[in-house]
Amino acid sequence: MKTILQIPLNTDLRDGAAKEADRQGFSSLQEAVRIFLKKMADQQISVNFEEKTSLSPQAVKRYDRMVDEVKSGKVKTKIFSDTKSLMKYLENED
């Protein structure tokens, strides 16, 4: 038995998803959705929605400057070969 799933979508979303489905080798957006639903129904996948975070342009400049200062030697750093030596160093810092 077959049924039709109708999902109202913004045209831009549908077109972007269809383009990506094609790029990933699916024959159609419908095929990608069918495979996704089948794997979900069979408990072969789970879905997590995580927002990507990005730094502000000011923060990017700030961190780039910090990296440059470390690379240039302006800021001194220490290297530890293991956690024990790091902890010993931190315990002696006052």
pLDDT tops 90 at residue 94: no
Encoded amino acid at 21, one letter? A
| Cβ pair 32, 21 in contact under 8 A | yes
User: What digits encode the pLDDT tens for the residues 23-35?
Assistant: 999 999 999 999 9
User: What digits encode the pLDDT tens for the residues 31-48?
Assistant: 999 999 999 999 999 988
pTM assigned to the model: 0.51
User: What digits encode the pLDDT tens for the residues 69-87?
Assistant: 999 999 989 999 999 999 9
The token duo for 12 is 């831009």
| Cβ pair 47, 40 in contact under 8 A | yes
